[in-house]
Structure 1
Amino acid sequence: MDTEIMHTDFPRWYSSLDIGDGQSTRQLRWQAVYKTATEASRETLETLLRLAFKSRTVPQASSESEIRQLFKAVDDTFEMQGNDREMQILAASCLAVMMEVNEDVGAAAALAATTAEFGGARKPKLPMDLGKLGEAAIAQWARSNGHRPDLNKYRYIDAPKFDFEKASAKITETPDWTSVAAAFTLAADATRGAIKQLAVRQSNALYAIDRFLKVQDEELQLLWWLTGQRSIDYDCGFDAITVDAQPLVLAHEVANMTEFSPGPHSVKAILSRAGLKDRKKLSVVTAINAVDTAWLTKLIGELNPSPLAMPLHAAAKRQLETGPGEAWVAGWAATAALDTDHSMTPLSLALQFYRERLLIKFE
C-alpha cells in the first residue's frame, strides 16, 4: 500500500462522519492516517486504542495532542479540539491500516484490537469492525511468519562486480608511487563494496532460514506439550488443574512457547486440543479467583496493564491488590467499563489471555 493510493475503505469510513467532506480534505486526512499508521510506536498504539474505543481511561493529553499535531501538520485547517467524533474515526482508521502495513507493531495492533473488544463486550460505534479486521490481520501475520523462505531470491546469477576503473584512472593520471598507493586504496574500497553486497545477501538468507527454523521449533515444542498433556507451571497433568483455572494457566504456557507475534495460526486449535471447551461460559471473576495466588503474583509482578487492551491482566492486578473474593470486582469493572459478571467460554477466555500475554511479551 502506498500513501498515494488511498485504502479502498477509507472514503466510506471517513464519509460516515456526514460532515460534507470534500475530496481534497479526504486525501489530506488519508495522508495523515497513512503516516501515523506506518510510523506508530507501541505508545501511539495505546493512545489510538483509547481514542477509537472511547475508553473510560482517556489518553494522556500530551499523547493525544501529538497525534492531532500529525494531522495538523498535513492540513493546517484540522481542528485541535472540538472534533472528538472525527478523531475517533481517524484513530480507528489508523489502527485498521496499521494492522496491514506496519511491520514493527502491525501484529500488536491486530492483537490489541481483538483484546480490547474482549469477546464482544466492547463495541464502539465505528464504520468498521476493528475486531474482525484484527482477526483477519492476525491470520495474515501468522501465515507470513510460517511461510517457508524462498532462498532462490538470495542467489547471485552473476558474480558481484569488482570495479577497478577509478584505481586504474588514478595511476594513468599520475604514474608515480603515490598514485599507485592511492590506487590500491581505491581498489580495496571497490573490493569491500562488492564483498559487502555478497555478505548482506548471505546474511539475509541466513536470517530467513533461522527465523523459519525457530517457527518450526515453536510448533514442535507446542506439539510435545500437547502430547505430554502436562502443565509446566503447575507441574502436573492438565486434568489435575481445576477446570476454572485451566484457561489462564494453559494460555500462559502456550504464550511462553510462542516465538513470534501474533503466534501460530493454529493456536486456537492447540488450546482446544489441550481440553478447553467452546461452550458453557466461565466468568472472568471465577477464572481469576481460581488460579494460584503465588502463580498470579509471579505473572503480574510490577506490570501496570492497560484496562482496555489487557482487561484480564488488569483484573488480576486488582485482585492481587485487594485480595481474593469479590471485593476487587466492582473497581475493576468500573475502570475497564465492563459488566461485573462478564463471561466467555473457556476457549475464548484462554485465547484472550494468550493474546494479552503476547502484547506483554513482545512489548
Structure 2
Amino acid sequence: MAKTPVMNADFARWYVDAFMDDGQTRAQRWKGVVDTAATANFHTVEVLVRYAFATAAPVDGWKNEKLAETHQAVLATISGNGSPMVPAASRRELQVLSAAVLVRLFSSMPDAAIVVLNASFEGKRKYDLPMDLPGLAKIALVEFARKKHERPDTKAFEIVAPKLEFEVSPEAMASMTSAQWTSELDRLRDAARMATREIVDGQNRVAKLLARRISLGEEELQMLWWLIGGQSNVADAPFDEIAASLKPLVLGEELGQLTQVSPGPASMKALLSRAGIGGETLKISDAVNAADVDWIRGVTTSDRVSPVTTPLHFALEKKLEIGSNDAWLPVWASMTGLPIDTSIPAIKLAELFYREYLFLHVNG
C-alpha cells in the first residue's frame, strides 16, 4: 500500500479553520482526501462537486445507479479510517473534504476544474467553504491549457539506445559445459528481451507524443478555419446573422466540437469574442428558448447531463421534456438551485456551454 504523502499545509489550515481539530482525525481525513483523489473519475467529481456546493440536487443522483455506487465509494474512502462517513451526521465535513479532494485533483484532472467552474455558474451558485474553490479552479484551468498546448522539447522524441547487459569472459567460455552454455544463452535472451522492451516503450512514448501533437495541430487549424470562415454549421448562417440570444450556445458547442484535448486552448475566450459574442447581459431563459428543438435533442443525448455540472444542457433537456417556453424554467430553477431570472454576459454564457460540452464529450 502506498504511503500517504505529507499533509498539505492548505488542507491542514482549512480543516483547523472549519473544525478546530489538528489531531488524529485531521490526519485520517487527509488520508481519505488522498485516497479518494487517487481513484477519481468523472462520476467521482460529480459527487464531490454536489457536496462542495451543497446543491439542491441529491448527491446519489436520484435513480442514477452509477452515481449512487460512486457516492457510496466516496463515503467509504474519504473518511480515511476504514469506516464510511454518514451524510446525515457529517454533511459539513463532507462538504469541506469534497472541496479538498477537488483542489487536489486540480493538478492532474481538467474535469475537476471544469465542473467546479460549471457549478459555480459565474458566481450565481453560492457556497460556504474555507477556500476560494472557483478561483483555484480557474487558475488550474489556465495552467492545464498552457501545459497541454506547450510544444514538447525535441529531446522528448529521442530514444536512447539501451545497453545489453551481458558478458562472458573468453576463459569462462573455454571451459563451459553444455548446461552452462544453456544457462548463459538464457541469460542473453533475457537481456535482449529487456533491451527490446526499452526500445518498444520508447517508440510507443514517442508515437503517443506525436499523435497528441498532431491532434493539437489539427485542433488549432480547424479552429482557425472556423473563425476565418465565420459560418455556423448549426445555424447554417454567418456568425453575424445568428440571433444574439442563440449565438452563445450554438458557437460554444461548435467550438467544443473542434476541441481535441480538454480543457481546450487558452485563447478560447478570445476565439468566442472574435466570433462576435459580446459582453451584453443575456437571460438563461432567452438563450434556451431561442434554441431549435431538433438541435436541443442532438446536444442532450449524454446520460451525464446534470443540474449541477452541466446546468445549461440540463435547461435544454428540461425544455425538450416539457415542451413549453415557460413551464421548464421553474423546474430548472428548483433542481439547480439557481435564480429563475438568472442572467450573465453572453461571452460568459458561451464559455460555460463550451466547458459543459468538454465535460460531457471531450477526454482530458
Scaled by the length of structure 2, the TM-score of the pair is 0.89
Q: Is the 8 A contact 2:75 2:86 kept in 1?
A: yes
Aligned to 1:162: 164
Deviation at 1:80, TM superposition (A): 3.4
Deviation at 1:155, TM superposition (A): 3.2
Deviation at 1:182, TM superposition (A): 5.4
Q: Distance in 1 between matches of 2:355 and 2:208?
A: 26
Deviation at 1:85, TM superposition (A): 0.7
Aligned to 1:189: 190
**For 1:228-307, what aligned pairs fall within 5 Å after superposition?**
228-278=229-279, 280-301=280-301, 303-307=303-307
Q: Is the 8 A contact 2:76 2:85 kept in 1?
A: no
Q: Is the 8 A contact 2:52 2:99 kept in 1?
A: yes
Q: 2:92 aligns with which of 72, 81, 85?
A: 85
Aligned to 1:56: 56
Over aligned residue pairs, what C-alpha RMSD do you find? 2.5
- For residue 162 of structure 1, what is the amino acid of its counterpart? L
**For 1:32-181, what aligned pairs fall within 5 Å after superposition?**
32-60=32-60, 62-72=69-79, 74-75=80-81, 80-81=86-87, 82-100=89-107, 102=108, 106-155=109-158, 159-165=161-167, 175-176=177-178, 180=181
Q: Is the 8 A contact 1:145 1:212 kept in 2?
A: no
Distance 1:358 1:156, change over 3 A: closer
Aligned to 2:203: 202
Q: Distance in 2 between matches of 1:218 and 1:80?
A: 45
State whether structure 2 residue 355 is matched by structure 1 residue 355: yes
- For residue 34 of structure 1, what is the amino acid of its counterpart? V
Deviation at 1:204, TM superposition (A): 1.1
SS at match of 1:83: helix
Q: Is the 8 A contact 1:114 1:134 kept in 2?
A: yes
Aligned to 1:223: 224
Q: Is the 8 A contact 1:250 1:350 kept in 2?
A: yes
Q: Distance in 1 between matches of 2:57 and 2:328?
A: 18
Q: Is the 8 A contact 2:284 2:342 kept in 1?
A: yes
Residue deviations 1:303-355, cap 9 Å, x none? 45110001001100000011141111111111111111101111000000000
Residue deviations 1:266-319, cap 9 Å, x none? 1011001100001x2111110011122211112213645110001001100000
SS at match of 1:275: coil
Distance 1:79 1:313, change over 3 A: closer
Q: Is the 8 A contact 1:65 1:80 kept in 2?
A: no
Deviation at 1:69, TM superposition (A): 1.6
- For residue 164 of structure 2, what is the amino acid of its counterpart? F
Q: Distance in 1 between matches of 2:75 and 2:306?
A: 22
Q: Is the 8 A contact 1:142 1:264 kept in 2?
A: yes
State how many pairs are aligned: 353
Of 310-319 and 124-133, more deviation after overlay is shown by 124-133
- For residue 55 of structure 1, what is the amino acid of its counterpart? T
Aligned to 2:322: 322
Residue deviations 1:124-153, cap 9 Å, x none? 111112211111111111111111112314
Scaled by the length of structure 1, the TM-score of the pair is 0.90
Deviation at 1:7, TM superposition (A): 2.3
Distance 1:345 1:172, change over 3 A: farther
Of 302-311 and 85-94, more deviation after overlay is shown by 302-311
Unaligned stretches of 5+ residues in structure 1? none
Distance 1:34 1:168, change over 3 A: farther
Of 195-204 and 180-189, more deviation after overlay is shown by 180-189
Deviation at 1:5, TM superposition (A): 2.9
Residue deviations 1:148-205, cap 9 Å, x none? 1123145356x411123489999788522x6545544432332121122122123212
SS at match of 1:307: coil
* Identity of matched residues, %: 34
Q: Distance in 1 between matches of 2:290 and 2:159?
A: 58
Distance 1:154 1:216, change over 3 A: closer
Distance 1:22 1:360, change over 3 A: same
Q: Distance in 2 between matches of 1:356 and 1:169?
A: 71
Of 281-290 and 196-205, more deviation after overlay is shown by 196-205
Deviation at 1:362, TM superposition (A): 2.7
SS at match of 1:114: helix
Distance 1:78 1:210, change over 3 A: closer
- For residue 193 of structure 1, what is the amino acid of its counterpart? M
Q: Distance in 1 between matches of 2:171 and 2:248?
A: 72
